Amino acid sequence: MLEILNTLSKSSEPLQHAVIFLFNGAEENILQASHGFITQHEWAKSIRAFINLEAAGVGGKELVFQTGPENPWLVQAYVVAAKHPFASVVAQEIFQSGIIPADTDFRIYRDFGNVPGMFSEDLFCVSAFLIGDNILAVLKYLATSDKLAKSFEYRHGNVVFFDVLGLFVVAYPARVGTIMNYITAATAFLYLSKKLLQPKTRAIHNLKNFFTAFGLTLASWVCTLVTVLLVAVFVSVIGRSLSWYTHFYVSVFLYGTAAVAKLVLVHTLAKKFFYKNTNEQYLGDTFFDASLMIWSLALAMITRMGLCSAFICMLWVAFPLLAKLMIHKEFICHDVHAGNVCSLSVYDVS
């Protein structure tokens, strides 16, 4: 903040709006300083938007955790201006759910000042330079924006937003996301129903194998979750809690290998006891369909709950299904004498 203040003070570029730099104390004591400022200071009523900065001090990228409430123009400002974008609506919804036992000045400005803003978590050790670039660019954009003067006129709905490999941010209205999600889920259900119920003579056999694969897939996920939790308990028991906190790749190795090993074990046992003489192509297709059904159901339910994070399920359904449809081959034979058309698909052969 000091460096940004120094840079702005030396810049010849005029700003359309004033900028207040607020250095709060007493954050860990129920956020007293921010509460005192937003409820009592004479400048508080003139504030139209804020950028709330946090520092975890563990290394990594700066991440935009929260925006709003509503005010999609704030997300658009970040999309347009940020030089090193790293943002996700998933982080926002997880933080707002209360699962993470933490609080920030963002809530104080939002609830007591009714001011829209952006909450940026600076993982300080590595990214001080990167967040400086980002915040300076976004701050200049906001300070020269016509929307800032009438920010309350632009409150209309939520936004789905996420970055793609830190290269750029995808953002679109939540109502558009809802339509996309339901269309994707409906397409997947249509694909599965058409596939499983054709041909009719094998429908019961197909459904039996499908639901077996569905149950085994869910069981493998539950076993994986239990394994990861057991590893976490073991790490805590030996007094090494959060020992991986400053080294993200250690956590991936510690928990990722346990998760993968459990998944492989469950599916290996399933193949040995449930699918001894089953064609591998048919087996792969069956488990693909089971996973597709699980994510499609999750997509429909999360969208119904009104969560923007449903976009993850949408991507996990849309792209695999699209790839499957593109590479899928059907062999069509025409019975000239009978005048009928019949099709034989690779997934019908076991």
Check if the beta carbon of residue 342 is closer than 8 Å to that of residue 333: yes
Structure tokens at 70: 């509503």
Give me the pLDDT at residue 304, please: 94
pLDDT in tens, 45-56: 888 888 888 766
pLDDT in tens, 104-113: 788 888 888 8
What's the pTM?
Answer: 0.77
Give me the pLDDT at residue 292, please: 93
Give me the pLDDT at residue 56, please: 63
Give me the pLDDT at residue 349, please: 38
Give me the pLDDT at residue 190, please: 92
Give me the pLDDT at residue 90, please: 85
Residues lower than pLDDT 70 in the chain: 55-66, 68-70, 121-130, 151-155, 246, 328-350
Question: How many alpha carbons fall within 13 Å on the CB side of residue 72?
Answer: 12
Kindly report the number of other CB atoms within 10 A of residue 79's CB atom.
Answer: 18
Check if the beta carbon of residue 141 is closer than 8 Å to that of residue 74: no
Q: Residues of 289-321 as b/e, b for ≥16 C-beta within 10 angstroms?
A: bbbbbbbbbbbbebbeeebbbbbbbbebbbeeb
The enclosing H or E element of 244 equals: none
Which residue stretches of 238-256 are H helix? Answer: 248-251
123, with CB counted inside 10 A (0-12, 13-18, 19+), is: buried
3-state secondary structure 275-311: CCCCCHHHHHHHHHHHHHHHHHHHHHHHHHCCCHHHH
Among this protein's residues, is 42 annotated catalytic?
Answer: no
Q: What percent of the chain has pLDDT over 70?
A: 83
Give me the pLDDT at residue 274, please: 79
Question: How many alpha carbons fall within 13 Å on the CB side of residue 350?
Answer: 11
User: C-alpha 249: how far from its chain's center?
Assistant: 20
Check if the beta carbon of residue 59 is closer than 8 Å to that of residue 126: yes
Give the Cα-Cα-Cα angle 156, 157, 160 (nearest 5 degrees): 135
Give me the pLDDT at residue 146, please: 80
Amino acid at 280: E
Check if the beta carbon of residue 5 is closer than 8 Å to that of residue 125: no
The residue among 1, 20, 26 whose CA lies nearest residue 103 is: 26
Give me the pLDDT at residue 65, please: 63
Q: What percent of the chain has pLDDT over 90?
A: 19
Which residue of the set 27, 28, 42, 280 is catalytic?
27
Q: Distance between CA 327 and CA 120 in Å, rounded?
A: 42
Amino acid at 216: L
Which residue stretches of the chain are H helix? Answer: 2-10, 32-40, 72-81, 89-97, 105-113, 124-143, 174-196, 203-237, 248-251, 257-273, 280-304, 311-327
Give me the pLDDT at residue 68, please: 64
Report the DSSP beta bridge partners of residue 330: 345
